[in-house]
Amino acid sequence: MYDRILFPTDGSDPAESALEYALQIASEHEATVHILNVADTGRDSVTAIRGEVIDVLENEGQRIVEEAAQHARDDGVPVVTAVHQGDPHEMIIDYSQRSSIDCIVMPTHGRRGIHRLLLGSVTERVINTAEIPVVAVNPEGVRPLTYPPRHLLVPTDGSRGAELALTEGISIARATGATLHLLHVVETGSLGPDARSVLKEGELTEQANEIMTEATERTEDSSLDTITSVVKQGDPSKVICDYIDENEIDLAIMGTHGQTDFSRYVMGGVSSKLVRKSPAPVMWVRDPGSESGDVSGS
């Protein structure tokens, strides 16, 4: 399913915990892990970078990728290493395309300062622009990272992005035997107590049922053994995080360009919160034919 997995690293503790997860995915799918370090020499990193500084960054990068590569070898995972210079986000995307990468695994944050690579803004930019799935791993989560997953969650809003996420979720569930959970959140935070709000809430519920019925039919057609579908109300990011906690979800899968008339999951502040706060890793899937999504907040 995934033959080549890209793991960008800056050698920080958050990156190390995400590496463990990347190696679990690679072991399950018998994949090769590509370990990449980018010396941030983009124009925003420092005012001017001299040759000797670049040499130091490259030497440090070689040390970082070799340590990670040894970890992969110890786990019996085939590994390829690379050290490049430039803007981290651009180099990660470029490397993934040139190396025919199937999936990128990144922590949600990492080291700061001149060595910085995996700050949230870089991870979010990769999520917004990559044409392959990107798994964002929160290294501060209290639950153990588990792959293959036992429980998968696909929050759906009926959008093209959500359809792609569901397709990916079905594939992973087939490959791993995981239980697939479908969740639609009726966003009711803006509704008031007057009659117009009651009417709108009824429209929201009707729309939710239609979306969930369509998603459930797709999963049933795929002949998965175990499927759970739920419609809830509230703030989408909070409901999704609570559902992950309460149902011991090991991996959530979401589209990065999802929007309907009645609810928004993966635009602006909702997705930005999920990238940083999800108790479980989140795989983000973007429609290659769409403009870049928005997980930068609003």
- The CATH number given to whatever domain includes residue 18 is 3.40.50.620
67 & 179 share domain: no
**What local confidence, expressed as pLDDT, does residue 271 receive?**
74
211 & 187 share domain: yes
193 & 219 share domain: yes
φ, ψ of residue 193 in degrees (nearest 5): -85, -5
What pTM was estimated for this model as a whole? 0.85
Domains identified in the chain, total number: 2
Domain that holds residue 277: 151-285
Q: Percent of the chain scored above 70 by pLDDT? A: 80
**171 token code pair:** 């594939």
Mean pLDDT calculated for residue range 137-156: 90
In a domain, 292, yes or no: no
Q: Name the band, by pLDDT with cuts 50, 70 and 90, for residue 172.
A: very high
What is the phi-psi region of residue 158: left when phi exceeds 0, alpha when psi lies from -120 to 50, beta otherwise? left
In a domain, 199, yes or no: yes
130 & 158 share domain: no
194 & 72 share domain: no
Using CB atoms within 10 Å of the CB of residue 169, give its burial: 0 to 12 exposed, 13 to 18 middle, 19+ buried.
Answer: buried
pLDDT above 90 for 221: no
